[in-house]
Structures are given as C-alpha cells and as structure tokens.
Amino acid sequence: MATRTQSVEFAGATLGRDRHICAFFNAPDEERRTLRSFVTDGFERGERAFHIVDPGLRDDHLKWLADAGIGVEPAMAAGQLQIRSWGEAYLRGGRFDQDAMLALLEDVLQSGHAAGYPLTRVVAHMEWACSDRAGVGDLVEYETRLNYVLPKYDDPVICTYDLSRFDSTVTMDILRTHPVVIIGGVLQENPFFVPPDQFLLEIRERRSTRMPATIAS
C-alpha cells in the first residue's frame, strides 16, 4: 500500500492511502489490544483523538485510555482528546441522519487541521446501529458515502464492529464498504471492497425490488 505523508503503523502493518477502516472484533479486550498502539502513538506524536462511544461505556473507555498511559483530563481540557456519545454524534435528535453525520465528521477533520494537529485519529463504535432508532437502516449507505469524504484527508477513521451484535448479511455489507479491514487483529487491504458508485447503485437496486408493486386502476 502506498503511504501518505503522515504514516500510521499499527496492527502489524503500515496504513496506506486508504484510511477508512472497518475493524471487526469478538470481544472488547480484543479491540483494546489491537487499537492500543493506534491510540497511544497518536498522542505521542501530538495528534488529536476523536472517539465516539456507547454512553453506557464512556467511563470504561476513559479508564482504558488512562490505563494506557494517556493523561485523559489534560488532553480533554486541551482539546487533544474529544469523546462523544452516540447521542452527540450518530443519534443527535434521537435518530440517525446520515447527511448530518457526514457533515459532522468532515467538520471534525477540518477543525483538527485548523487547530494545528497533524492528524485526527477517529475511533467510532458502531453498535448504535443495532438500536431501533429512525434512520439506522441507512448505515450501509452512510459507510459507502464516507468513501467520497475521507479520501480528501490523511486522517484515519476506524469504525469498530462487535461481531456478536451484527448479523452476517449486515457484516458482509459493512466489509464491502471499507477499503481497509482489521480481522483477527491484523490490518490489511480489503479484497471485498466495492467502490462507492457501484455500491450505491446496488443499494438503490435493492430498494427498488423491495417497493410494493402499484396496482393499476
């Protein structure tokens, strides 16, 4: 993989030009082991961290960061570490609006650069999509559309998925929307990736086949 100016190494490989990553895990401990160096190296290099977490696990996440040697309170006070719950990101207003979320993420990346950070490292826990909130059915389309936004930036974005929470059909679709994948703790190019133009066409075709046929009067 051809690297960008700001190299990022973790999970046994160097991240290349594509920086939209899906990470599949079977347990929180596996996720934390795999992503520890991704997070800590960013702080050591003076980069910014933007994490979106389950509100019920926020305190656990902060403790994990502290146990990894990160000065959580000073980093949050300085703006180097930003933690948002699902309700402050994906589920603002009690529903998922993919356009609003795409705009939020782009603003996060732009503001990091404007503040002088060489990179913003994003970790987003995606189990909010298992809820019954309005709009969550747009998850796959959202992940596909991110591939129009993220190539404009060097910042790595990791979408983490707990495999015990998602069925095999959704998991396969999510895999196909990410050019880079972490499976079994190993970072690798994704041979199943489908370019966004092609995948969006597939999504539209699926929807058209699900629409009830109209009855001529």
Choices 3.90.1170.50, 3.40.50.970, 2.40.50.180, 3.40.50.300: CATH for 15-208: 3.40.50.300
pLDDT along the chain (217 residues), means of 10: 69 94 96 96 97 97 97 98 98 98 98 97 98 97 98 97 96 98 96 98 90 48
Beta strand pairing status for 13-15 and 8-10? antiparallel
List, for residues 103-137, the tens digit of each pLDDT value: 999 999 999 999 999 999 999 999 999 999 999 99
| List of residues 6+ apart from 152 with CB closer than 8 A | none
Q: For the chain, what are the domain ranges?
A: 15-208
Paired residues of 121 in beta bridges:
49
Query: What is residue 210's predicted lDDT score, i.e. its pLDDT?
Result: 75
As a whole number of angstroms, the distance between CA 192 and CA 62 comes to 34
User: In the prediction, which pLDDT does 211 show?
Assistant: 62
Name the DSSP letter for residue 212: P
Helix and strand counts by DSSP (H, E) for the chain? 7, 9
- Residue ranges of E strands in 57-178: 81-85, 120-125, 157-162
Distance separating alpha carbons of residues 176 and 22, to the nearest angstrom: 10
d(CA 199, CA 38): 29
Partners of residue 109 on adjacent β-strands: none
pLDDT of residue 212: 59
Q: Strand, helix or coil at 203? A: helix
- Residues 6 or more apart whose CB falls under 8 angstroms from that of 209 comprise none
